[in-house]
Structure 1
Amino acid sequence: MKKILTNFLALGVCLTPLTVMLIAQPTWGQTQNSRSQEAKRLLKQGIKLTQQQEHQQAIQIFQQGLTIARELKDQKLEALALLGLGRNYDDLGQKQKALDFYNQALPLYRAVGDRTGEARTLDNIGGVYNALGEKQKALDFYNQALPLFRAVGD
């Protein structure tokens, strides 16, 4: 009986560091979920800053969200961050930079099947081309966006 109790106590002492480590460390899923929540929080903050026309701050926040979204391989969050970056650069008059971000967002929205995001991105690309005086190119993108907006009831 004494030998069994001794072995049991020895096993408990050996497992204590492992148990403490497992309790103290979040699992990969919990870590990923908290990172996802952080990215969503940053993207909401970026949207709010964009609405307040705080474009430089919004760009910094969207960049942080983009980094996390890419780490998580979350294409939907990545597309939203890219769209936000494009919008802010567009508002700052940096049209080519805006196009670069919009063109990165577009295939991601298509990949995740987000037709609203795809329509917005196409519409924004059309707006950039319109502002650059490339009316036919703008019209081409608007014509791609229109049926998507109709399909989603917008």
Structure 2
Amino acid sequence: MFDRTQWFLAGMSIALSLQLSQPVAAAVPVGKVVQTAQTNSSEAAEKALKEAAQLYNQGTAEAKRGTIVKLEEALKLYREAGDRRREAVTFSNIGLVYSGLGEKQKALEYYSQSLPLSRATGDRGGEAITLNNIGSVYSELGEKQKALEYFSQSLPLRRAVGDRRGEAVTLTNIATVYSGLGEKQKALEYYSQSLPLFQATGDRGGEATTLNNIGSVYSALGEKQKALEYYSQSLPLRRATGDRRGEA
């Protein structure tokens, strides 16, 4: 489960406010010139991000390549504006797109550039998202212990910033890794923590995925009737959310 929350925060929700301090006295209003240039860079970056989001939503590999081009454009502009927080978010978004294209090492390169910037700017929510996504990449690469290390760093940050849906995502990711390692009871412990969080936050897709995964664990444990109970709870949620692949 990758976390795409950061994408939407970056492109759609963050207000444009640079809060630059003005010089006490100057013959030429240098600060105003700098502020205007930085504001222009930020506005251009926001435009590039919106175009990137439109391309990304097309879902094709070609559109995703175009998304990366637009995100790289936004990255350069945020750097010019001195906006390190949005720079960090954009690095993370590029990593997310590369991961979706199957270029996992490239994804890790961009995530590793995002992480120190998030930490330097005190963006604990952004840091948590990037740590979670790094864990997901390592999990897909089969490096399960490394995945657990990153998920375990993400989890307390999720809790610290009150991101209950994000906490649920990371708990589910930890559970899935433990299940893959054969530690089924440990997996059930983490799934049982994530399920009520998905329900409380109204994330029916996450709830459906977790119910399905709990069913898979019980099936592997030989508890077939219990597995059917969870699959039967997952199925109507898959249909309700239009997740036809998950339904199948």
* Interval of TM-score (by shorter of Structure 1 and Structure 2): 0.7 to 0.9
Question: What is the alpha-carbon root mean square deviation over aligned residues?
Answer: 2.1
> Which residue number corresponds to residue 149 of structure 1?
198
What is the CA–CA distance in structure 2 between the aligned matches of 1:65 and 1:146, rounded to whole Å? Answer: 29
Structure 1 residue 61: Cα displacement = 0.6
What is the CA–CA distance in structure 1 between the aligned matches of 2:181 and 2:192, rounded to whole Å? Answer: 18
Aligned partner letter, 2:159 = R
What is the CA–CA distance in structure 2 between the aligned matches of 1:50 and 1:145, rounded to whole Å? Answer: 24
Query: Residues 98-137 of structure 1, C-alpha deviation per residue, up to 9 Å, x if partnerless?
Result: 0000000000000111111100000000001000000000
Instruction: Indicate which of 71, 76, 80 corresponds to 2:125.
Output: 76
> Which residue number corresponds to residue 86 of structure 1?
135
Q: Unaligned 5+ residue runs, structure 2?
A: 1-24, 40-78, 204-248
Larger RCO, structures 1/2 (Cα 8 Å, 6+ apart): 1
Pairing 1:50–2:99 present: yes
> Which residue number corresponds to residue 111 of structure 2?
62
Percent identity for Structure 1 against Structure 2: 44
Normalising by the residue count of structure 1, what TM-score does the alignment of the two structures yield? 0.81
> Which residue number corresponds to residue 38 of structure 1?
87
What is the CA–CA distance in structure 1 between the aligned matches of 2:103 and 2:178, rounded to whole Å? Answer: 24
Aligned residues: 136
**SS of match in other structure, 2:105:** helix
Normalising by the residue count of structure 2, what TM-score does the alignment of the two structures yield? 0.51
Higher helix share: 1
Structure 1 residue 24: Cα displacement = 6.4
> Which residue number corresponds to residue 11 of structure 1?
none
Larger Rg: 1
